[in-house]
Chains A and B, each alone.
Chain A
Amino acid sequence: MTTPKSTGSRPKAAGHAKRPVPGRSDPIRTAARIEEAHRPPSQYAEPADQPPPLDEMAIDQAVANVVKNADDVLNQTVAQARIAAQQLREGNYNMRDVPVDVQIMGLRMIRLARELSETTLNVCEQLLRQFTKVGRPPVPGQPGKVPPFPSTKPTGYGYSPASQAAPPSSYGTPQTAPPPERTGLELTVEFDSQAKAIAHPAHLAKPRLPVTPDEISVTPLRHPTDKGDAIVDVAFTVDIGGSLIARIAIPPGQHPGVYSGMVVTHKQDVPLGILVIEVIK
Chain B
Amino acid sequence: MEIRPQSTWAAAEPPAGSLIARYATSTRAELSRYLSTEGDAPFLGTLMADYPSRGGKMMRPAICIANARIFGEGLGEDYEPAIRCAAAIELLHNALLIHDDVQDGSEERRGRPTLHALHGIPLAINAGDALMFTAFQPLLDAVRPLGSEIARQVLDVTMTMARHTAEGQALELGWRDSNATDLTEADYLRMALKKTAWMGMIWPAQLGVIIGSDGIVDPERVLRFGYFLGLAFQIEDDLRNLSDDPGYGKENNGDLLEGKRTLMLIHVRNACSQTERAKLDHFLSQRREERAADDVLWLAHLMETHGSVKYGRQVAQAMGGAATYEFERAYAGKPPCEDLEFLSGLVRWVFERP
Which residues from chain A sit less than 8 Å from chain B, CB to CB? 28-34, 36-37, 39-40, 42, 44, 46-47, 49-51, 53-54, 59-60, 62-64, 66-67, 69-70, 72-74, 76-78, 81, 85, 95-96, 100, 103
Contacts and interface: CB of A to CB of B under 8 A. Distances in A.
Contact of A44 (B227, B298, B318): B298
Contacts of A72: 186
Contact of A70 (B149, B228, B325): B228
A37 B309 contact: yes
Contacts of A37: 243, 304, 309-310, 313
Q: Interface centre among A63, A96, A100, by most B CB within 10 Å? A: A63
B186 A50 contact: no
B297 to A, nearest CB: 8
Nearest to A39: B304
Contact of B319 (A49, A53, A70): A70
Interface in B184-226: 185-186, 189-190, 193-194, 220, 223-224
Nearest to B324: A31
Q: Which 7 A-B pairs have the closest CB atoms?
A: A31-B321, A49-B273, A29-B322, A30-B318, A29-B321, A73-B189, A63-B314
A189 B194 CA distance: 92
Contact of B223 (A62, A78, A100): A78
Contact of B322 (A36, A70, A73, A95): A70
Nearest to A72: B186
Given A29-B321, A42-B305, A67-B318, 11 more contacts: A33-B314, A49-B275, A51-B272, A53-B306, A59-B314, A63-B315, A66-B185, A69-B185, A70-B227, A77-B190, A81-B160
B325 A29 contact: yes
10 contacts: A30-B321, A31-B322, A31-B347, A34-B314, A37-B304, A44-B301, A59-B310, A63-B315, A74-B223, A78-B220
Contacts of B189: 66, 69-70, 73
Nearest to A44: B301
B245 to A, nearest CB: 12
Contacts of B148: 95, 103
B84 interface: no
